[in-house]
Amino acid sequence: MEEGLVAEVGVTSSVGGKPATLLSVVDDARQIIGIDLANSEFRGAVINLRGEIQHHSSEPILERDGKAALALVHKLLEELLALANKPLLGIGIGTPGLMDADHGVVRTAVNLDWQNLPLADILTERYSLPTYIANDGQVAALAEYTFGERRDTENLVVLKVGRGIGSGIIIGGSLYYGDDFGAGEIGHFKVVEGGEPCRCGNFGCLETISSTRAIVRQARMIATSSPQSLLNDLASSPSDVNTETVLSAVTSGDPALENVLNNAGKYLGLSVAGLVSILNIRHVVIAGSAARFGDALVQPLLQEMRRRALSPLAEHTVVTTSSLGTDIVILGAAALVLANELELVR
């Protein structure tokens, strides 16, 4: 109360003794900076203690090496710091790649050209603010648990499906990192022998079939080989086909695109069957840009998961799409700060 974080909001009815005083967190007592480094642009926001986004900012990545990517993080942070108008609780970051979350070190992030980068220390020293970093899929799970619609469970799996694929696991109300902080790194789980080459150097990884990058690649091939495809009515050329184009074609009932999404959902279902069988977690949420495909992706996922997992487990597993949209990683990064600074995630 002395620090302005909590205020009295009333008293309870007396049941024979002194009425209890009701307390509540003051929503705007502090602000948090949350940053998402996992997409084609770096995105960030200034957020209050209730997860309400008050200011946005973004920077395009373009083609940058690791040093330039770090400079871009500094630029984005300085924009957000200038937008903050309340004391800052800390900085939270969701980043692609393998992390050492305890020490805030990015072990490897191929797309950002980072290897063993002590990002938390770099930012804490420069901005004099507590900084917490985790994998983008992991913080997406924390966002869903903290701010999402699934409020009735302590256990949760979130699949973040976009240009890459990852997942985050909440067990007993806490984010599960795994022994080497790689829990949920399913995007590079090999699902097809002799499949397409993957950015990780392997072949046939889940990302090569079920990511939005893979879906768009297959859609462009369809647009090139099938002039009658709806894709050609929605884009000026096959190279202009993107996720929005695919979504429009699927909504309009293009059968070729339905087959692509059926296949993507099938392999996601294979991976979810493994998670369900090992963890027996009943609630699975699809997040990321692919969540907009809705039932076109979820139904083949469910069908394959039920075909492969033990029936009593699969039948009680609920798969839904996230309502948090494109800000899920930013919100998860804020939740990471709340969890560490205030032990507050609900």
Q: Using one digit for the tens of pLDDT, what is the confidence trace for 258-305?
A: 999 999 999 999 999 999 999 999 999 999 999 999 999 999 999 999
Whether the per-residue pLDDT at 151 is higher than 80: the answer is: no
Arithmetic mean of pLDDT, 25-29 = 81
Instruction: Decide whether 31-143 matches 149-323 in CATH topology.
Output: yes
List the domain boundaries for the chain: 31-143, 149-323
Instruction: Report which of residues 210 and 164 the model is more confident about.
Output: 210
Q: Exposed, middle or buried, 318 (CB in 10 Å: 0-12/13-18/19+)?
A: exposed
pLDDT digits (tens, 9 = 90+) for 95-119: 988 889 899 999 988 778 899 999 9
What is the topology classification, in CATH, of domain 31-143? Nucleotidyltransferase; domain 5 (3.30.420)
Tokens of 320: 């839904």
Q: What's residue 344's pLDDT?
A: 65
Percent of the chain topping pLDDT 90:
71
CA dist 183 and 164 (Å) reads: 16
Using DSSP's 3-state secondary structure scheme, residue 77 falls into: helix
Does the pLDDT of residue 203 top 80, yes or no?
A: yes
Q: Which residue has the higher pLDDT, 21 or 326?
A: 326
Strand order in the sheet with 318-321: 174-176, 165-171, 156-161, 283-287, 318-321
Structure tokens at 23: 């307390």
Q: How confident is the model at residue 180 (pLDDT cuts 50, 70, 90)?
A: confident
Enter the DSSP assignment of 289: G
Fold classification of 149-323 (topology level): Nucleotidyltransferase; domain 5 (3.30.420)
Band of the pLDDT at 132, cuts 50, 70, 90? very high
User: Could you give the percent of the chain with pLDDT greater than 70?
Assistant: 97
Angle between helices 212-225 and 255-279 (to 10 degrees): 160
Give me the pLDDT at residue 240, please. 93
CB 309 within 8 A of CB 35: no
Pick the more confident residue, 7 or 203.
203
pLDDT value, residue 6 = 84
- d(C-alpha 216, C-alpha 255), whole Å: 15
Q: Which residues contact 34 (CB under 8 A, 6 or more apart)?
A: 44, 45, 47, 92, 93, 94, 329, 330, 331, 332, 333, 334, 337
